[in-house]
Amino acid sequence: MPHHAHSSDKLTRLAPERTLRRLELSVTRRLDGLLNGEHLGLLPGPGTELAEARAYQPGEDDVRHMDWAVTARTTQPHVRDLIADHELETWALVDLTASMDYGTANLPKRDLAVAALAAVGFLTTRLGDRTGAYLMRPGGLRRWPARTGRAAMYALLHTILHAPAQPPADPHARPVTLAEGIASLGRGQTRRGLRVIISDFLDQPAPGAPLEWERPLRRLARRHQVLAVEIIDPRELALPDIGLVHLADPETGRVHEIALNRKTAAAYQAAAAAHRAAVHAALRRCGAHHLQLRTDRDWIADIARFALRQRRTAGRTAATGARP
């Protein structure tokens, strides 16, 4: 088994395009199958696919979308919404800071971030859309221009997989915060479209402190459709009761000696749960769609369940005539 794993890692380094091709096949075949072969996108939005009819809102709805059959049947004006815009430019902010190289289950968080971006990118690329990215690296923020096509998506994913994991040698260099990354994405790309934030959302000055990224994310969501992909490792949610250990902060490199007893483990679990709840509440306040992916779960199945849930929610909203 160790020899097989070593050979697989070597193959990944020598021929990464094979790994990316397998990733593309996993995304397009499995996700299409789980979604019954219908490509409606991960999020609902104005586009080319018809949703269910809802009551016509004078002064707000386009009369060209009038559903005359339903109007005649109910004697009340009805229109049909359109979902899954296939023409919007997609931009992603991908967190590649040191904490994203952590992983204790099936794969590191960075690899799961690549998989999440691939799921969005490959699906939109098939429709001719352009996908660009801002990469939050230990040495700063890098902008990857929006391009279309499989080759461009492969190049972006390859860059993320091989981005340096260690902080810069300059001890005075300050890493980009998640709030700064989101603000840069908002300032740099003003054309309306889909914005995807892929991070573990562990960027917090201190336990219980305000989430500094909430304000720029709220501004971003006012203009764009936002999908927040939260990457989680199970060891970040709970610690074992194993005694005295040395723990290193991946962002700063500082090492702390901690006694992992039952009391400490319980306090950590409570703090981790409180942080995740705060992240969820903040994303909801911002109006962002929230997708959680874990390193110990089938991420494609989780994405499919998320997409189906969004589709059902959009259908219920259209049927009741509620405004988002």
Q: Which domains does the chain have, with CATH numbers?
A: 49-83 (no CATH), 89-314 (3.40.50.410)
Q: State the pLDDT confidence band at 44, using cuts at 50, 70 and 90.
A: low
| pLDDT at site 8 | 41
| pLDDT at site 165 | 61
| pLDDT at site 88 | 64
Task: Kindly report which listed range (197-211, 244-258, 304-318) carries the lowest average pLDDT score.
Answer: 304-318
Please say whether the beta carbons of 195 and 223 come within 8 A: no
pLDDT, tens digit (0-9, with 9 covering 90-100), for 47-92: 444 455 678 777 666 677 788 878 888 888 887 755 444 456 889 9
Question: Residue 74 to residues 55, 81, 270: CA-CA distances in angstroms?
Answer: 10, 18, 53
Q: Which region, left, alpha or beta, applies to residue 149 given φ > 0 means left and ψ of -120 to 50 means alpha?
A: left
| pLDDT at site 86 | 47
Please say whether the beta carbons of 181 and 95 come within 8 A: yes
Please say whether the beta carbons of 90 and 133 come within 8 A: no
Statement: residue 15 has pLDDT above 60: no
The C-alpha atoms of residue 8 and residue 285 are separated, in whole angstroms, by: 43
DSSP character at residue 284: H
Question: Residue 22 to residues 15, 154, 233, 243, 249: CA-CA distances in angstroms?
Answer: 12, 11, 23, 41, 33
Statement: residue 4 has pLDDT above 50: no
Statement: residue 252 has pLDDT above 90: no
Please say whether the beta carbons of 321 and 311 come within 8 A: no
Averaged pLDDT, 210-229: 93
| Tokens, residue 252 | 């700063």
Three-state SS string over 217-280 comes to HHHHHHHCEEEEEEEECHHHCCCCCCEEEEEECCCCCCEEEEEECHHHHHHHHHHHHHHHHHHH
Task: Kindly report which listed range (35-44, 165-174, 313-322) carries the lowest average pLDDT score.
Answer: 35-44
pLDDT, tens digit (0-9, with 9 covering 90-100), for 136-179: 987 789 999 988 888 888 889 888 887 766 655 555 667 789 99
* CA–CA–CA angle 283, 214, 209 (5° rounding): 105
Higher pLDDT, 176 or 124: 176
Record the pTM: 0.74
Mean predicted lDDT score pLDDT of the chain: 78
Question: Residue 126 to residues 78, 112, 121: CA-CA distances in angstroms?
Answer: 33, 21, 9
> With pLDDT > 70 as the criterion, what percentage of the chain qualifies?
71
pLDDT, tens digit (0-9, with 9 covering 90-100), for 182-219: 999 999 887 888 899 999 998 876 767 789 999 999 99
| pLDDT at site 324 | 45
Name the packing angle between helices 16-25 and 150-161 (round to 10°): 120
